[in-house]
Structure 1
Amino acid sequence: MCAAKFISIPVKEAHTMSAAIAETPEGVMSGKQFFGHPIGLMTLFFTELWERFSYYGMRALLVLYMTASHENGGLGYSNAQAALVYGTYTSAVYLLAMPGGWAADRLLGLKYAVFIGGIIIAAGHFSMAFESEVAFYTGLVLIVLGTGLLKPNISAIVGRLYRPEDQRRDAGFSIFYMGINIGAFLAPLACGFLAQSDTWKHTIAGWGFQPSSSWHWGFAAAGIGMTLGLVQYIVGFKYLEGVGERPVREDGNTTPVWEGLASYLAVAFALFAVVAGLQQLHGLVVGRLGNAAGYAYIALVFAGIIALVWFSFLRTLAEDELKRMLAIVYFFLASIVFWALFEQAGSSLNLYADRLTDCRIFGFAFPSSYFQSLNPILIIFLAPVFAWLWVQWGDRQPSSPAKFSVGILLVGVGFVVAAVGVAFLNGGKLSPWWLVAVYLIHTVGELCLSPVGLSTMTKLAPERLSGLVMGIWFLGPTFGNYIGGLIAGHFDETRPESVGSLFYQVAATGIVVSVVAFALTPFIRRLMGNVR
């Protein structure tokens, strides 16, 4: 899942960590409580719930809408074309977390970056409510821009609610992660019903609308979700007083909001231009030299980004900070593999559900997009269990690198189940229980990696680079989603045997990488110092 996510207030370099914490109002740290956590977590919980409702509601429909025929209201794209657009879009969502974190740290402040980002996201979803390919792509661009501001910075604020030694931090992120998945669970049900249900199509036909326009009702529902999130954020703003405020410049003033937003947009569009150029080169490399060369090209681009970050920021770090940043790079690399496999949920596994799976359980027929609610509903039930488990184990719980290794292993095992299921097609449709099993295994893997990764970044990040570190963390899903889109482009439901072969290859990748990750765990723990 997301897809998703730190210290909030950029302070002068002379300030120490303890000084920054001391400036945080006591009401944030020890006043009202939300499930035993700071009350500000409630505001962030519900804001992220509605933002993820908007994102996952639209994401559940994206590939299905693009591959639907023109007669059925879609764009008529091929599987490969739709998967590439999907991978590019979902990777761009995370790519802009880096300039979004920078803009919040230096110019806008975390709280205000979240609010502005939410407004832009809502505008993007409402744009997709119109039946136009131009409106469709305009909406995607706006959602990418808004998410770049909102996603890393709301996670940063969560980390800022806790003192460094507070052992509730991992549990707090698990609760926050549960809020994400409540939104992600509700979204495919609501948006999928509006987009795919025959009942709804008959209803709007009675109102004089074309039944094929139902996709855009689903996209509009996503915009309503983000709007509700903004309203809730404004109401709960008072609970975040003193956290994520706008940074003060050397002249004692704050940067005007318009200037901060303009700076962010300039960097964002520059990145868009670079990424578009890199994509064209990647397509040229693949076209002439094959897929292997294409993946080598991606690795080269990644190495260039790491070199840029190194020469721009990391050379000035103290030795212990540098070791922690190297550990962050390791988690970043591990997350690329995880997300490339896990994010098949919205592309190849979505097509697997729509084209190869019997969408009926106990005689009840449902839209294929409903399968997108499996992962979040499982997280809703399992996240409290994991939160309780980490607190109960305390210092005896597995280290963060060990949890990462388990997460990658499980996402690989899930694809073994999906591949085995293909063998039972026999010219018909698969039982939906195969996908239920896949999503259960993937969900346990996700809970071992994603919320733990968010929490680990807050503990490893140097104070003055907190926004940048979160941007680096979200670069993992950036590369992972793009690679995932390339993988999904090989999905061909007309040749089920090729689908099984594809999923076996995906499974092997996850299992082999997890073995390497387990072997590296002791070394990474040493780099992390006293951070678990």
Structure 2
Amino acid sequence: MSTHSKEEIVRSVPQKGFFGHPKGLFTLFFTEFWERFSYYGMRALLLYYMYTEVASGGLGIDDGTAKSIMAIYGSLVYMSGIIGGWIADRLLGTQQTVFYGGVLIMAGHIVLALPAGTTGLFISMFLIVVGTGLLKPNVSSVVGDLYSPRDVRRDSGFSIFYMGINMGALIAPLVVGTLGQEFNYHLGFGVAAIGMLLGLIVFVVTKKKYLGLAGTYVPNPLEQDEKKKVYSRIGIGALIVVILGAITIPTGILTINGFTYLVSILGILIPTIYFIVMYRSPKTTADEKSRLVAYIPLFIAAIMFWAIQEQGSIILAEYADKRTELSFLGLELQSSWFQSLNPLFIVILAPIFAGFWMKLGERQPSTPKKFSIGLLFAGLSFLVMIIPATINGTDSLVSPIWLVLSFLLVVIGELCLSPVGLSATTKLAPQAFSAQTMSLWFLSNASAQAINAQIVKLYTPETEVIYFGVIGGVAILLGFMLYLLSKKIQHFMKGVR
């Protein structure tokens, strides 16, 4: 276990200096800013790169398969957070794990910048999946280390951190997307690699002075005899995966579609096992077990929310490319630019939400109620997409205003749910599984995208109304159910608000 108490860790961090928050928030804000610039810049181009014909600089992959790959890619990125959380909790601590993750992400973007075809795509995906799994859950966990558990600035701090994430995501499609669509996809991916390099530089240069002890400890280190067993199992497991891949891929047993089904199953199975293991662990106290029970409905709500939000880079990205009029008020738009709408609205609205929660203080809605509001707006963001198809049919191009409205609604929901979910996770996490519980939070996104890998295949212009209507309606219904259960969930949280 950690040799430092939470109070010692908090005291080691300069508590003032970044908008009234700890100075360490500056380091983590700009590290994530550049990491998200690289990731969302790449993602703004990836779907188009996959389904664009080879003669036009793409890979020529079938539309439906390309959409499934996008969803599975996103699922694996968040699923790999399990690895990052475990390595931080048992081997390296969060600071070191963040650094190594950034290095792998940068390498992945460099590979994608090379004209290596489908082989380069999958090598890059592997590197970015593992790298993001190491970095993303752990950088958020370090944010939690900057504050004492009862610090009223905590939710506001996570909202500011979330704004940094989205500032990077806002700029990325405008820079990387424009370069990729106007000039060359590989040029865009190369600029994404430079973004991750800048993030690593910020982290290395400022961490010692601003982060103190935050993230330097290993919460639940492996004993010496445990290390041998774990390393042996990892080695054997990796060897089995390599052998199975070498046999099943060349023979056609394992296809891309087969792989997407496998990941979809794992997206549900893995978080279920995770909850069971943490709940049954002797290192989890009675109060911590109660908080895990309270966390389950929040986790399910988060899956529903992310299932809608993450389709912004898949279904709505295709909608922007094929169903939207890209000439607007004399401007010629790039379809990739619509990926900036989500972070643009977050950058505008996040300070308002942060200030609003601070002003309300103890009077602000409980975490379950914030989640239910988030689901309501997510559902509405899909229901509005029914309107243009109902009015004009699906054969004509629609005004980009409909996409703008959809992204605005889902962002309002996101600001009620996502930064609050990050904060709640750090407060509800069992001490022995602190970083791993943050990984579990990101598994809600992995599960959502694993489910999306099968759902997105159902979308066509002909099924548009039913597609948006059913998914949006289910989200609103689930939001109302969560609101009705909020008092019961709050009881199980054992004093955590």
- Equivalent in the alignment of 1:205: none
- Equivalent in the alignment of 2:481: 516
- Equivalent in the alignment of 2:154: 169
- Equivalent in the alignment of 1:502: 467
Contact 2:30–2:164 (CA<8 Å) still a contact in 1? yes
Using the TM superposition, give the Cα deviation of residue 312 of structure 1 relative to its aligned residue in structure 2, in angstroms. Answer: 5.9
What runs of 5+ residues in structure 1 fail to find an aligned partner? 1-9, 13-18, 202-213, 287-293
1:224-281 alpha-carbon deviations (Å, 9 max, x no partner): 100110011111112112111143998999x99xx9x98998699589789999x969
Candidates 320, 325, 336, aligned match of 1:369: 336
- Equivalent in the alignment of 1:434: 402
> Quick one: distance in 1 between partners of 2:495 and 2:291?
10
Matches of residues 175-190 of structure 1 in structure 2 within 5 Å?
175-190=160-175
Q: SS of the counterpart of 1:28?
A: coil
Identity of aligned residues (%): 41
Q: SS of the counterpart of 1:34?
A: coil
Question: Structure 1 residues 190 and 108 mapped into 2: Cα distance closer, same or farther (>3 Å)?
Answer: same
> Quick one: distance in 2 between partners of 1:55 and 1:263?
33
- Equivalent in the alignment of 1:480: 448
1:345-400 alpha-carbon deviations (Å, 9 max, x no partner): 11001000110001233211121000000010110010000000001011111111
- Equivalent in the alignment of 1:68: 52
Candidates 133, 136, 143, aligned match of 2:128: 143
Candidates 239, 243, 268, aligned match of 2:214: 243
- Equivalent in the alignment of 1:290: none
Matches of residues 85-484 of structure 1 in structure 2 within 5 Å?
85-132=69-116, 133-197=118-182, 201=183, 214-238=184-208, 239-247=210-218, 302=268, 305-307=271-273, 309-311=275-277, 314-316=280-282, 317-426=284-393, 427-484=395-452
Contact 2:103–2:131 (CA<8 Å) still a contact in 1? yes
- Equivalent in the alignment of 1:489: 457
Question: Structure 1 residues 267 and 517 mapped into 2: Cα distance closer, same or farther (>3 Å)?
Answer: farther
Contact 2:374–2:416 (CA<8 Å) still a contact in 1? yes
Question: Structure 1 residues 53 and 263 mapped into 2: Cα distance closer, same or farther (>3 Å)?
Answer: farther
Q: SS of the counterpart of 2:310?
A: helix
Contact 1:360–1:432 (CA<8 Å) still a contact in 2? no
Contact 2:108–2:126 (CA<8 Å) still a contact in 1? yes
Question: Structure 1 residues 309 and 150 mapped into 2: Cα distance closer, same or farther (>3 Å)?
Answer: same
> Quick one: distance in 1 between partners of 2:175 and 2:475?
33
> Quick one: distance in 2 between partners of 1:70 and 1:285?
24
- Equivalent in the alignment of 1:529: 494
Using the TM superposition, give the Cα deviation of residue 28 of structure 1 relative to its aligned residue in structure 2, in angstroms. Answer: 0.8
Using the TM superposition, give the Cα deviation of residue 130 of structure 1 relative to its aligned residue in structure 2, in angstroms. Answer: 1.1
Using the TM superposition, give the Cα deviation of residue 178 of structure 1 relative to its aligned residue in structure 2, in angstroms. Answer: 0.2
> Quick one: distance in 2 between partners of 1:322 and 1:408?
26
Count how many residue pairs are aligned between Structure 1 and Structure 2. Answer: 486
> Quick one: distance in 1 between partners of 2:10 and 2:315?
47
Question: Structure 1 residues 267 and 144 mapped into 2: Cα distance closer, same or farther (>3 Å)?
Answer: farther
> Quick one: distance in 2 between partners of 1:267 and 1:383?
46
Contact 2:89–2:220 (CA<8 Å) still a contact in 1? no
What amino acid sits opposite 1:109 in the alignment?
A: G
Using the TM superposition, give the Cα deviation of residue 418 of structure 1 relative to its aligned residue in structure 2, in angstroms. Answer: 1.1
Candidates 54, 57, 64, aligned match of 2:38: 54
- Equivalent in the alignment of 2:2: 11
Q: SS of the counterpart of 1:37?
A: coil
Contact 1:112–1:246 (CA<8 Å) still a contact in 2? no
Question: Structure 1 residues 284 and 312 mapped into 2: Cα distance closer, same or farther (>3 Å)?
Answer: same
What amino acid sits opposite 2:426 in the alignment?
A: T
> Quick one: distance in 1 between partners of 2:462 and 2:236?
45
> Quick one: distance in 1 between partners of 2:447 and 2:42?
21
Deviates more, 1:318-327 or 1:115-124: 318-327
Contact 1:29–1:162 (CA<8 Å) still a contact in 2? no
Using the TM superposition, give the Cα deviation of residue 181 of structure 1 relative to its aligned residue in structure 2, in angstroms. Answer: 0.3
**TM-score of the two chains, using structure 2 as the length reference:** 0.90
> Quick one: distance in 1 between partners of 2:24 and 2:113?
33
Question: Structure 1 residues 11 and 273 mapped into 2: Cα distance closer, same or farther (>3 Å)?
Answer: farther
1:449-482 alpha-carbon deviations (Å, 9 max, x no partner): 1100000001111222101211211111111011
> Quick one: distance in 1 between partners of 2:161 and 2:488?
30
> Quick one: distance in 2 between partners of 1:469 and 1:271?
28
Question: Structure 1 residues 235 and 111 mapped into 2: Cα distance closer, same or farther (>3 Å)?
Answer: same
What amino acid sits opposite 2:337 in the alignment?
A: Y
What amino acid sits opposite 1:229 in the alignment?
A: G
